[in-house]
């Protein structure tokens, strides 16, 4: 292409294909202002909080952001990667992007990652990829189950960035993969391997999904159904009885009713039912983060043991494990068909 351009023409980079892994986000530090900045962006997203803005603005800015950053900052401090001075979510998502880049190989493919909230921002990475010559970009929201609060808002942010580009790349968005056979196989094997490695036999294994207000379900969000289908397919793959693998929902926020059963209430009740040995995992997350490492692995264990539990184990997310990356690679190659 460059050979046919006049001598004074702006240089045109070689055409490339981009793959952009999208995840939720993280503050840049555990201090008050970094956490406040992150929470403000997150809780100002109308996809996440659908309350009328006139009602929500004073609640968010005058109440929640006055005290929540200290509490969240303390929680982040419990799991912060001190060596890299980053949250585990950013460290792991970067590892996933770098691993995928090695697997796809070639100078004609650019693989990167971005966060819906915080850094690296979706806009900055998309613009960098476009400047590097990516004229075709696959957006890969790393959420197995679709929700407007996760997949949709991640794509929204990318589309907002595209609006500002004079030379837009062609864009594809990867669909949710909650029932993808490769994902089900990988998740099921990680559960089986995790359980077999334990020094005890769990009475029950809990798949704890991030919660959402019941109102969102009533408005048509498919997340609830997809969570249950993921667990059902995993249970069928493993050949386990229905009572061995259960579904709960965590991370509720505010006074409204959220999807039930609640993870914390379930952990409180199980010992009283004679189920005192538990293993738990969080299939809605592609990478371990504050909701898995602090809320579940730490807080969930404390809740369960305080209620009379005897054994508790957290099974990590797929993260950048070889099997987890096999799954991501297979999904990305499928969605790139016709481009590669």
Coil, strand or helix at 314: strand
291 is in an annotated binding site: yes
294 is in an annotated binding site: no
Q: Residue holding tokens 């999807």?
A: 259
Q: Residue holding tokens 């613009």?
A: 127
Whether the Cβ atoms of residue 16 and residue 133 lie closer than 8 Å to each other: yes
What residue spans of the chain are helical by DSSP H?
Answer: 32-43, 53-59, 65-79, 88-104, 122-131, 153-163, 181-196, 214-218, 223-238, 263-269, 301-306, 322-335
201 by Cβ neighbours in 10 Å (0-12 / 13-18 / 19+) ranks as: exposed
- In 3D space, the residue among 288, 268, 243, 14 whose CA is nearest the CA of residue 135 turns out to be 14
DSSP-derived secondary structure letter, 272: G
143 phi-psi bin (left φ>0, alpha ψ -120 to 50, beta other): beta
- In 3D space, the residue among 280, 174, 282, 187 whose CA is nearest the CA of residue 233 turns out to be 187
- CA–CA gap between residue 296 and residue 249 (Å, rounded): 11
- CA–CA gap between residue 32 and residue 74 (Å, rounded): 9
- CA–CA gap between residue 304 and residue 312 (Å, rounded): 8
- Residues comprising the binding site? 210, 291
Binding annotation for Fe(2+): 210, 291
């Amino acid at each position: 292409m460059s050979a046919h351009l006049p001598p004074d023409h702006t240089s045109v980079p070689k055409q490339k294909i981009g793959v952009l892994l999208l995840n939720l986000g993280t503050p840049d530090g555990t201090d008050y202002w970094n956490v406040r900045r992150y929470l403000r962006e997150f809780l100002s997203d109308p996809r996440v909080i659908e309350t009328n803005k006139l009602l929500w603005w004073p609640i968010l800015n005058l109440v929640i952001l006055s005290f929540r950053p200290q509490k969240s900052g303390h929680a982040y401090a419990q799991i912060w990667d001190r060596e890299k001075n980053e949250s585990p979510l950013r460290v792991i998502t970067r590892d996933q992007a770098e691993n995928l880049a090695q697997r796809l190989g070639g100078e004609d493919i650019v693989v990167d990652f971005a966060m819906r909230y915080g850094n690296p921002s979706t806009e900055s990475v998309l613009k960098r990829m476009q400047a590097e010559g990516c004229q075709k970009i696959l957006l890969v929201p790393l959420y197995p189950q679709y929700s407007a609060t996760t997949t949709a808002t991640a794509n929204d942010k990318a589309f907002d960035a595209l609006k500002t580009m004079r030379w837009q790349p062609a864009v594809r968005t990867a669909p949710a993969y909650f029932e993808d056979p490769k994902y089900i196989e990988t998740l099921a094997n990680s559960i089986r391997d995790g359980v077999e490695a334990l020094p005890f036999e769990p009475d029950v294994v809990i798949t704890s999904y991030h919660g959402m207000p019941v109102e969102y379900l009533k408005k048509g969000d498919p997340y609830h159904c997809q969570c249950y289908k993921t667990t059902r397919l995993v249970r069928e793959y493993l050949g386990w009885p229905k009572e061995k693998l259960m579904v709960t929902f965590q991370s509720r926020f505010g006074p409204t009713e959220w999807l039930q059963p609640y993870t914390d209430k379930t952990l409180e009740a199980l010992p009283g039912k004679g189920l005192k040995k538990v293993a738990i995992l969080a299939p809605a997350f592609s990478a371990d983060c504050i909701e898995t490492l602090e809320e579940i692995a730490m807080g969930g264990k404390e809740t369960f043991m305080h209620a009379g539990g005897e054994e508790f184990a957290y099974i990590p997310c797929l993260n950048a494990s070889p099997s987890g990356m096999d799954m991501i690679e297979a999904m990305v190659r499928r969605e790139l068909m016709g481009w590669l």
